[in-house]
Each structure stands twice: as structure tokens, then as C-alpha cells.
């Protein structure tokens, strides 16, 4: 992990944390750094870029079909980046590895970013893509009857939120959640006390920057569409919850796992030792990143076998 941190420092040209940069500066630095981690990636049988009509704009999506073209489930992937960063390119290797390891068709969603599009626009866009999958997925070789949602960080938050909302009307639509180091509603916790500082590359100032960019009014922080721990946990399907040990969001994952246990919902929690938030990006150098992606892919296959 330390080797990764040193490499990242060379890729960001010494850029400081997000609180000290303009929004465009943050995005430019993030995209430039992620480009190196995405240079080497598995080949796919097919990669299709298309659009889905959404509530405020056309939503770009990318469909990954792995070389193993046996019938596989569909995994919707929602990228991280604090709701203000990230796109289909910054998470390209992650999505390809999940498709390669699992045999699933992975559908990446380039949902609208904040602050240009604030909460809950991204949630509504993901729901529009789910509606499209039900209506048109089979036309693109996608099995909409065997459907999971995956995400990392902010994307994991969106995955849980969207699942809770969808299952209010259509229970069982989503059969699996694959969640990497998500933000589920805790803003103060023991892990924030321990790891919420520059040494672990995730500060309280950054957290506030992300939250104020994404959310509108202060009461949005208690809205169950954001604070998903206050939502209906009993509506969630089987989940694989992956957490990073040296991450201020570690306790969010533990809290979600315990909440699912209380509701007798099937869930697995795995905390990967010695790694920071965002660690699944670094599989070019970090074995735990590959391990976590393979663990998620294996659990997906168990769910649909």
C-alpha cells in the first residue's frame, strides 16, 4: 500500500487534497491519476458504449461482455468518486476485471455528477437505467432477470439507495449487492476518528467538500436515500460488503452488515487489512485489490449458480 501511495504522488504532480483545489482541478487531477491504473486491462469479447434516456439528459452507459460468453448474470456498476468525480474511464479496469472474473455482463453507468446535478438526480438516473434494462436489456444480450448492482464508495451508497427504492415497488428485482467501502450514512464514527486525516489520504475537509457538493439542504443528510442505514434494510438482497481497514468509512460497512444481520438478510463482510479507501483501483500493484475483486466476483457467481 505504501508503494501505491508513492506511485500516486508521482501521478498527481503534487496536487494537494480536494479542499484546496477548484472542482475542475480536482477532476483533472483525479482523471490523470486514474489513467495510469487503467492502462493495462483485460480484453473483452465486446465493449459497447450507448445511451439511455433519463429524467434530465441522456445517460451514457458501457456494456462489457467478457470473453467467456456462457450465460451470465448482469451486474450494474456504479463508480465512486464522492458523487463529484469519476466516469466510465476511471473505473474501466475495475469493471473489466469483474466481468473477466465472474463471466457477468457488466453495465457501467456514467451518472450525473454533483454539484451540477445535485441529490437525488444520480439516484433517479440509475433507476432509469434499471428500467431500460428491464425493457431493452435482452436486446443487448443482457439477462435482466438475474441482476446485481455493484459500486465503490459513493457508488456503493447509490447501489443500496436505489435497491431500497426499487424494492418498495418491485421486490426481488435486484438479487445481489456488491459493495466496496461505501458511505452509508455515518458522519462520525470510531474509524473517522482513527483514519480521517491526511496520513490515510481521506480528511474531514474532503468529506465535507463531497457532502456539500452532493447534498442540497442540511436535512438531506438524514434522508434515507442518502443515509441508507435509516432506510429499509429488510428490503436488501444478499450482499458482499468489502471494507478497507485504514479507511474512515470502515465503520459504515460494519454498521450496514450488522443492520442486515438484525433484519436476517444474508450478508458477508470482509475487511481487507492494511489498505486505504479506493484500494480496488490499484490492482496493477496491490494484490489485495485483485483479491477483493475476485472475492466479489466469486460471491456473485455463488448467488446466481
Point out the residues that are catalytic.
153, 247, 277
Q: Where are the alpha helices (DSSP H) in the chain?
A: 2-11, 23-37, 92-102, 121-136, 154-169, 190-195, 204-214, 250-262, 287-304
DSSP 64: E
Residue with cell 443500496: 160
- CA distance to 84, 89, 126, 165, 182, per residue, from 108 (Å): 16, 10, 10, 20, 17
Q: 256: helix, coil or strand?
A: helix
Pairing of strands 105-109, 147-152: unpaired
Question: What does the block give as the cell for 239?
Answer: 450482499
Contacts 24+ apart (CB under 8 A), 48-55: 48/140, 49/88, 50/140, 52/128, 52/129, 52/132, 53/128, 53/132, 54/112, 54/124, 54/125, 54/128, 54/129, 55/121, 55/124, 55/125, 55/128
Nearest to 215 by CA among 125, 118, 117, 83: 118
58-65 and 105-109: which strand pairing? antiparallel
Alpha-carbon radius of gyration of the chain: 18
C-alpha cell at 92: 474501466
Nearest to 243 by CA among 156, 301, 176, 173: 156
Amino acid at each position: 500500500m505504501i508503494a501505491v501511495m508513492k506511485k500516486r504522488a508521482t501521478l498527481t504532480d503534487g496536487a494537494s487534497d480536494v479542499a484546496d483545489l477548484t472542482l475542475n482541478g480536482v477532476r483533472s487531477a483525479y482523471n490523470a491519476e486514474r489513467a495510469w491504473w487503467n492502462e493495462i486491462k483485460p480484453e473483452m469479447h465486446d465493449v459497447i458504449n450507448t445511451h439511455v434516456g433519463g429524467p434530465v439528459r441522456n445517460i451514457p452507459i458501457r456494456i462489457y461482455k467478457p470473453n467467456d460468453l456462457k450465460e451470465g448474470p448482469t451486474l450494474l456498476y456504479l463508480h465512486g468518486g464522492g458523487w463529484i468525480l469519476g466516469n466510465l474511464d476511471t473505473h474501466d479496469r475495475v469493471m473489466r476485471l469483474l466481468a473477466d472474473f465472474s463471466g457477468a455482463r457488466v453495465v457501467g453507468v456514467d451518472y450525473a455528477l454533483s454539484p451540477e446535478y445535485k441529490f437525488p438526480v444520480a439516484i433517479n438516473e440509475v433507476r432509469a437505467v434499471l428500467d431500460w434494462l428491464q425493457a431493452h436489456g435482452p436486446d443487448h444480450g443482457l439477462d435482466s432477470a438475474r441482476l446485481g448492482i455493484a459500486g465503490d464508495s459513493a457508488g456503493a451508497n447509490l447501489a443500496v439507495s436505489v435497491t431500497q427504492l426499487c424494492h418498495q415497488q418491485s421486490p426481488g428485482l435486484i438479487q445481489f449487492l456488491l459493495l466496496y467501502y461505501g458511505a452509508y450514512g455515518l458522519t462520525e464514527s470510531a474509524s473517522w476518528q482513527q483514519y480521517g486525516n491526511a496520513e490515510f489520504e481521506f480528511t474531514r475537509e474532503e468529506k465535507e467538500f463531497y457532502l456539500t457538493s452532493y447534498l442540497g439542504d442540511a436535512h438531506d443528510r438524514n434522508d434515507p436515500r442518502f443515509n441508507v442505514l435509516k432506510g429499509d434494510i429488510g428490503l436488501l438482497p444478499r450482499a458482499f460488503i468489502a471494507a478497507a481497514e485504514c479507511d474512515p468509512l470502515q465503520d459504515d460497512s460494519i454498521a450496514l452488515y450488522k443492520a442486515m444481520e438484525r433484519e436476517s438478510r444474508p450478508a458477508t463482510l470482509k475487511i481487507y487489512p492494511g489498505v486505504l479507501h479506493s484500494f480496488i483501483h490499484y490492482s496493477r500493484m496491490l494484490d489485495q485489490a485483485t483479491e477483493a475483486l475476485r472475492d466479489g466476483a466469486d460471491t456473485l457467481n455463488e448467488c446466481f449458480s
